[in-house]
Structure 1
Amino acid sequence: MDAATPAAAQFELNGDQRAIQEMTAAFAAEKVAPYALEWDKERHFPSDVIRETGALGFGGIYIGDDVGGSGLGRLDAVLIFEALAAACPGFSSMISIHNMAAWMIDTFGSEEQRQRFLPAMTSLEWLASYCLTEPGSGSDAAALKTRAVRAGGNGSDYTLNGTKQFISGAGDSDVYVVMARTGDDGPKGVSTFVVPKDAPGLKFGPAENKMGWHMQPTRQVIFEDCKVPAENLLSGEGAGFRIAMAGLDGGRLNIAACSLGGAQSALDKALSYAGERVAFGKAINQFQALQFKLADMEIELQASRIMLYTAASKLDRKAHDAGKWSAMAKRFVTDTCFDIANDALQIHGGYGYLHEYGVEKLVRDLRVHQILEGTNEIMRLIVARHLIGR
């Protein structure tokens, strides 16, 4: 993590935060990096290794310690996801999604719900997925169609019908935090439910054949008269859209951190290759054109790191402009870091296109970060509204 030093100095990371970086990097180097290409090639979901991170506190990074969480801040979380993503962005992003789902229960659930769900989630005995996007509603999240209707004696249950699209971990996760419509069209009619995997009527589509993130399954989550106890509703009817939007600020920082870690790995690979590859009688890193390219990659990487750490610090402090900074960091970091990974592939020439060098995997994995947690076009819209509203 030497490349993190400038940002570390800027934000005066304390001893505990440096220890978090070192612990995470050591775990990733031993348990993730040696197997990432194989997982990608075989489309293998290493749920056993993901669950191992529960012992490190990664199942509830910013969850209360009374339910087994680590009680850390958003900057701490960014350091963890960045270090994990240097080994495999898809691995890191799955843990990020789990943490976002757990945070929603921790923040908006009743004390009974927190005690019922979170201890098994923070230990990663239970893995969680988040279900917002639908086949016809992505960026327009308030237009979702999945519906929940009161059923059972005295309204003791809800019946859910509908389909969620692009759900990471679907079919393998144990818990699903689901946004469903309980009222009229629009944001005020959306509610949030915690749905266990064994809920009657919960089904899953086939695994999607994706460009990247091959190591984690992505499927539709299908509700066909799915029965969910009313006690699994978070914060009452109509609170769902507010819960979803509140979770996205942190989720955007997390996915930006996954891009940052992947881009750092890509730059490291490019530096190593450029020092070894000989052309026209000398190592290619001796050519000024390539030196300028490497310098620009480093400048852009450090700018991304500083912007992301700034945004995370603002969210920790609950600064009034934290939402704007989360959107800015997500847009800037995911776009910039994808470009860095793509430049690293170009530096490798034809070898960059081969799976065994690991660079093309990083390009494929980082591309989706520009889409999820709100597309980067939506990030621009959020920033513009902050500016105009000001």
Structure 2
Amino acid sequence: MGTEITPFRVHFPDDTLRDLRARLAGARWPDAETVDDWEQGPRLSYMKELCAYWERDHDWRATEDRLNAVPQFRTEIDGLDVHFLHARSPHPDATPLLLTHGWPSSVLEFLDLIPRLTHPDDPSEAFHVVCPSLPGHGFSGRPTGPGWTVGRIARAWAQLMARLGYPRYGAHGGDWGSWVSAELGSADPEHVLGIHLTMPLAKAPEQPVELDERDQRAMAKMTGFGQNRSGYAAIQSTRPQALGYGLADSPAGQLAWILDRFWEWADHDGTLEKALSFDQLLDAATLYWLTDTGASSARLFWESFNKEPMNPTNVPVGCSVFPKDAWLPRAWAEQRFTNLRYWKDLDSGGHFPALERPAVLADELRAFFTLLN
């Protein structure tokens, strides 16, 4: 393929969808949890209800149509096929903006956000949007050898933006997208206009820093995550292949594995559907199932989780922190991001703002990048 950019459309054969429904109909269920909440993982009654909807009512073809309504392409970078959405604004002077998803997400996460960015009321706030699929995720290639770390992905994204003819661009991300976007500030500073993050990441400063009340709450949340909620990361960063057999063979297993994260990280009061609909949850699960990327997506944890350096960056940085995702002290972020231009703690929303609060996230992106004009 070389440097060629080829159009791409999503369409899975009918047989694969029939196989999915047959596997759901024949699912073998575990015993019910021994508690009355989600402390042990997704509740059996919820899983049965969601899988019944998946088998009978979820319309993947409608989701394919939504994806195919956005121009999609693939190109080879560093030996791997990279899939990406490329939605150009009708306003020619729009700011190029690279959006990177995380796990357990995909480019689907940005479908409600993209038109808000490409077609704003004010043409001066428009963006040309590029959304690549991470290696081993979605429609990008699956690495066949080790080495596709966060740093390598950032360098690949820099090549992608250059190949698309964007000499200056902004970058945004949450979850792995925050890791990759932050690394772009170190890997491609001469071309990165600015970085916007919803999950800023930084290590503890070498010298003690003063923490205000907000930072102390974040520290408590960080400690609780490490003690009680990080089992998924421990498994994916150490034994992704062992996990992968179950994810590749059971759609119910694939759903439960990522549903647990949506439950834990979305902003809701105990009713997940108030944050994310059944269809949004099942769109995510169906994409992972049909592309068979349960194992390959988990390997990014094996490559990079607690292994990649968090390099300092001097490019302009903005952070929009949603309350269910607010676990990093701002004082720590200020040590890593030496040109921190914007910080806002939002009053609602969680780890998936492009799904949960797309209008708010669009406003935050405009607010930050307007500062840089």
TM over 0.5: no
Name the TM-score, length of structure 2 as normaliser.
0.27
Larger Rg: 1
Name the TM-score, length of structure 1 as normaliser.
0.26
